[in-house]
Amino acid sequence: MNVTLRTADDTCSPVVAHAIGLEAASSVAATLKALSDPLRLRMLSAVASDPRGESCVCDLADLADVAQPTVSHHLKVLKDVDVLTSERRGTWVWYRINPNRRNAVTALLESFAPATIAPGNASAEDDGLRPDFDARVTRLAKELADEVPELDEDVVLSIVRESYTSLARTARVTSALVPLTERFARQRLADLTRDRDASVPQVLFVCVANAGRSQLAAALVNKLAGGKVVARSAGSAPADVIHPHVRSILAEIEGDLAAERFPKPLTDDAVRAADVVITMGCGDVCPIIPGVRYDDWAVGDPALASRDGVEAIRDDIAGRVCALVDDLLH
């Protein structure tokens, strides 16, 4: 075997450098500097995984033993480098991931962070550092099956897996997927096991995104009826989050319950369980089930409206809801 030995006369032959530009490097460095604080990283992950798609200072104050002004300072730092955007509504400022940085934030939290925790490991998921969703979903299905013994375990497992898969299609960050899957699967199981003769009337509101008008309608029915009517909502093509203006109005209607609302896909079992199905711009997507009453409400889309416009849409829906509830209870 021939071996070529380097001598002292050997010299380095420079090659053309392909480094990123100074301006780009400076921008990246500024962002990385803003993200270098552990509390800011925790805040970023909390905002990214919030099922509402946004968080306010009051949501993040419990992450560390610091005052709200300190929390606001850290959020401002992240906003200054365009990682977050903000919107003031009332006395609170709400923060969300900048849509232009969404992919970068997802890569940071779901790829770079796990790899950093386990340096040198090519597959953090294999070591359990990334969520083992299959095992968690299976475990969730077993827990829910114990609560509905009238359903076969395989049926429950299928519903839970379907619920997870449908929500995963629009999930921004997967850390919130399993809790949302549990809520959605519980609702679907309740629909499957509903006894029409022994339960109160049930209404299903359906729009395209389930991010605005159908959410408002369901919330207004549940508040007005006080448990004498149950309202649910769904979307033919659900969005990833509820519209910000709608979110704030839901909080006014439902209080803390608004934090649990999230866009959900339309399912056949939701339609079958309903006594009344109200469509809002998507009447052609609902399966026709004998015995179910159908109606269509032509109301504005909050996605195209200002805050004042959304309030007008709410008032329009509220008037229709009053008539609907009165009809169902009398």
Sign of the CA dihedral with 135 first, then 141, 145, and 150 last = negative
Token match 């839970």: residue?
160
Say yes or no to pLDDT of 5 above 80.
Answer: no
Q: Would you tell me which CATH number, out of the four given (3.40.50.2300, 3.40.50.980, 3.40.50.150, 2.40.40.20), belongs to the domain 200-330?
A: 3.40.50.2300
What's the rounded mean pLDDT across residues 68-91? 89
Question: Does position 25 have pLDDT exceeding 90, yes or no?
Answer: no
Domain 26-117 classification at class level: mainly alpha
Q: Give the model's confidence band at 4: pLDDT under 50 very low, under 70 low, under 90 confident, else very high.
A: low
Q: What is the DSSP track for 79-110?
A: HHTTSEEEEEETTEEEEEE-GGGHHHHHHIII
Dist CA 51 CA 44 (whole Å): 14
Q: Using one digit for the tens of pLDDT, what is the confidence trace for 158-201?
A: 999 999 988 888 776 666 788 899 999 999 999 999 998 899 99
- Spell 98-109 as b/e; 16+ CB within 10 A means b: beebeeebbebb
How much is the pLDDT for 214? 96
Structure tokens given for 187 = 């609702």
CA 97 remoteness from chain centre: 12
From the centroid of its chain, how far is CA 318? 25
pLDDT surpassing 90 at residue 223: yes
The mean per-residue pLDDT over the stretch 113-117 comes to: 65
The residue extents of the domains of the chain are: 26-117, 133-193, 200-330
pLDDT at 299 over 50: yes
Average pLDDT over residues 87-98: 87
User: Which pLDDT score is estimated for 126?
Assistant: 40
The reported pTM is 0.63
45-67 pLDDT tens trace: 888 877 678 888 888 877 877 78
Structure tokens at 205: 């509101």
Q: At what angle do helices 307-329 and 244-254 cross, to 10 degrees?
A: 40
Helix (H) or strand (E) holding 44: helix 38-49
Question: 153-168 and 177-192 are packed helices; what angle lies between their axes, rounded to 10 degrees?
Answer: 130
Task: Say which residue the tokens 């008008």 belong to.
Answer: 213
Q: Where are the alpha helices (DSSP H) in 123-176?
A: 133-147, 153-168
Closest CA to 202 of 290, 293, 68: 293
Q: What is the pLDDT of residue 114?
A: 63
Predicted local distance difference test score (pLDDT) of residue 27 = 87
- What is the reported pLDDT for 47? 87
pLDDT value, residue 177: 84
Strand order in the sheet with 84-89: 55-56, 92-97, 84-89
* Three-state DSSP state, 169: coil
pLDDT(264) > 50: yes
Of all residues in the chain, what percent carry a pLDDT higher than 90?
46
Stretch 244-254: mean pLDDT, rounded?
92
> In 10 A of CB 192, how many CB atoms?
18
- Split at pLDDT 50, 70, 90, the class of 121 is very low
Q: Please report, as a single letter, which amino acid is at residue 13.
A: S
Question: How far, in Å, CA of 186 to CA of 109, rounded?
Answer: 28
Burial 216-255 (b: 16+ CB within 10 A, else e): bbbbbbbbbbeeebbbbbbbbebbbbbbbbbbbbbbebbe
Q: Give the list of residues 6+ apart from residue 155 with CB closer than 8 angstroms, or none.
A: none
Cβ-Cβ contacts under 8 Å for 123 (sequence gap 6 or more)? none
Lowest-confidence region among 3-17, 74-88, 302-316 = 3-17
CATH topology for the 133-193 domain: Helicase, Ruva Protein; domain 3 (1.10.8)
The per-residue pLDDT for 92 is 81
Instruction: Count other C-beta atoms under 10 Å from residue 256's C-beta.
Output: 7
